[in-house]
Chains A and B, each alone.
Chain A
Amino acid sequence: MNLYGIRAIYKFEMARMKRTVMQSVLSPVISTCLYFVVFGSAIGSRMGDIDNISYGAYIIPGLVMLSLLMQSISNASFGIYMPKFSGTIYEVLSAPVSYVEVVIGYVGAAATKSVILGLIILATAKLFVDYTVLHPFWMLSFLVLTSITFSLFGFIIGIWADGFEKLQIVPMMIVTPLVFLGGTFYSIDMLPEIWQTISLFNPVVYLISGFRWAFYGVSDVHVGISVGMTMVFLALCMTAVWWIFKTGYRLRS
């Protein structure tokens, strides 16, 4: 295994995060804090509890998940798209690195950034809302697993995209609506039955439900199903990446 190669890619990507700390870290932290202030402290104080949890605390897992998904996709897609755009991808393609090593380097760095960001957001949330974490191990596990899965998804988008517009389409047009309709601000039990059924086709429901269970021990679906669905999505992304490198899709002609 080319460990130096993995380290080179990983270090390069982490250095990019340091260079763009305003955009990579501060910006998502501030925008998520605004949600905490508006929905947690201001509006939340006038709303009733959900599952005996204050509204401000209830929405924390969903909001962290929103940032986690968006940043994982954004970090990983940008990480692989930029070398394609600037032409420096030639170096990665001509280097003695396997596709597994390339993915570990890019996706590992993107996931690391997302986990760091998620933990910063959680720490910041304490300033606005009082919350507890019943299952810290599972909370961290969901954080890491979701970051890896959606960084892989972002990696796929970065390879697929042939312009900056396409990099934005999936996060903005698909992931954001799925997160907002996936139980970030409410329990899906509060929806009419038909919408509850429809919601179960939204994969983000399982992520938010499992993450919320790690905080408060309550969930919309069983935590085992949440873990299973996350693993299924991870497996789908890994299959897609394997196919991309096997065929050279948009990388090697």
Chain B
Amino acid sequence: MQPDISVRHLNKTYGDGFQALKDINLEIERGEIFALLGPNGAGKTTLISIICGIVNLSSGEVKAAGYDIVKDYRKARETIGLVPQELNTDSFETVWDAVSFSRGLFGKAPNPDHIEKTLKALSLWDKRNNRIMSLSGGMKRRVMIAKALSHEPQILFLDEPTAGVDVELRRDMWEMVRKLRESGVTIILTTHYIEEAEEMADRIGVIRQGEIILVEDKAQLMTKLGKKELRLQLQQKLEQVPGELTLEPVELANDGWELIFTFDSQQEQAGVARLLRTLGDLGIEYRDLQTRESSLEEIFVGLVHE
């Protein structure tokens, strides 16, 4: 099965000489949720903008749903919906008119039933006759999503979809994204909220300084790069890490009342058992212990600062 998005040797250099993307290669499968992570200025929005036709590519090849975005731009763009980062809306239009405009622009015949369904799904139905300028920021964000879904796209780009959105709306959007995926829509999202990627994505791509440095299944990434931490609250204060433990990744915290052991999640069993055995041999007793897995955020921070 061909990928929904195929990017080969993509380069982008802006007029001022700044190279925003360097030899990007990426494939995104039909029906998956792909999260593109990267620090500010890494090239996430440039990559999305090129695929959607807003920015010209310098070299390379990009296909959407099997169509070349330059040679078959009409067919490629028909398959794509975009929710941009900024809240760019026509303030004086009503919600209904704005969403209907988007459907027409993408070459689809008017379909009031679909618009109604979309607005209801996004809790916008009651606001359909309101001018967009009268809506709250969260509601405007929903309008942007409704516009992107108005032409029933096969691929949906969400560029920082929950930036500035309250927790409740963020949860609603996650739910909506899951439903879209269930209906077969491919979703590519960029986000600063690692929690968002951790919650929703099937695969994670990390972009740094215009280069894709990693593309990995989320679960595998967490296993491969994730760290676990064992914290032991000690009965007796330690002045320093005992000599028998100096070869282990162990450190003291909380003025010597806590011992922290960091280990790869893949080798947890052997490491923890060995540590606890050594502590028992040394007569070091502890009151309590907790383990904690590193979050995707910590993995991400580690990757982009390597």
Q: How many A-B contacts if CB must be within 8 Å? A: 84
Q: Out of A16, A90, A248, A252, name the residue touching B84 (CB < 8 Å).
A: A90
- Residues B97 and A94 in contact, CB atoms below 8 Å apart: no
Instruction: State which of A7-15, A160-168, A200-208 sits at the interface with chain B.
Output: A7-15
Q: Which residue of B lies closest to A252 (CB)?
A: B56
- Residues B52 and A96 in contact, CB atoms below 8 Å apart: no
Instruction: Kindly state the separation between the CA atoms of A12 and B56 in the bound complex, as whole angstroms.
Output: 27
Instruction: Kindly state the separation between the CA atoms of A88 and B105 in the bound complex, as whole angstroms.
Output: 13
Q: Tell whether B92 is near chain A: CB-to-CB under 8 Å.
A: yes
- Residues B56 and A90 in contact, CB atoms below 8 Å apart: no
Q: Assuming A88-B90, A94-B52, is B97 touching A4 (CB within 8 A)? A: no
Instruction: State which of B70-78, B163-171, B178-186, B287-295 sits at the interface with chain A.
Output: B70-78
Instruction: State which of B106-114, B273-281, B298-306 sits at the interface with chain A.
Output: B106-114
- Residues B104 and A4 in contact, CB atoms below 8 Å apart: yes
Contacts of B84 in A (CB 8 A): 87, 90
Q: Out of B52, B53, B88, name the residue touching A88 (CB < 8 Å).
A: B88
Number of interface residues of B (CB under 8 A): 36
Q: CB-CB contacts of B116-148 with A at 8 A, as 1s and 0s?
A: 000000000000000000000000000000010
- Residues B105 and A5 in contact, CB atoms below 8 Å apart: yes
Q: Assuming A19-B92, A252-B54, A253-B56, is B86 touching A87 (CB within 8 A)? A: yes
Contacts of B74 in A (CB 8 A): 2, 96, 98
Q: Out of B14, B56, B80, B109, name the residue touching A4 (CB < 8 Å).
A: B109
Top 3 A-B pairs, shortest CB-CB distance: A8-B104, A87-B88, A96-B74
Which residues from chain B sit less than 8 Å from chain A, CB to CB? 14-15, 52-56, 73-78, 80, 82, 84, 86, 88-93, 97, 100-110, 147
27 A-B residue pairs with CB within 8 Å: A4-B105, A4-B108, A4-B109, A5-B105, A7-B104, A15-B93, A16-B92, A19-B92, A86-B88, A86-B89, A86-B91, A90-B54, A90-B82, A91-B102, A94-B54, A95-B106, A95-B107, A96-B73, A96-B74, A96-B77, A96-B78, A96-B106, A96-B107, A248-B56, A252-B55, A252-B56, A253-B15
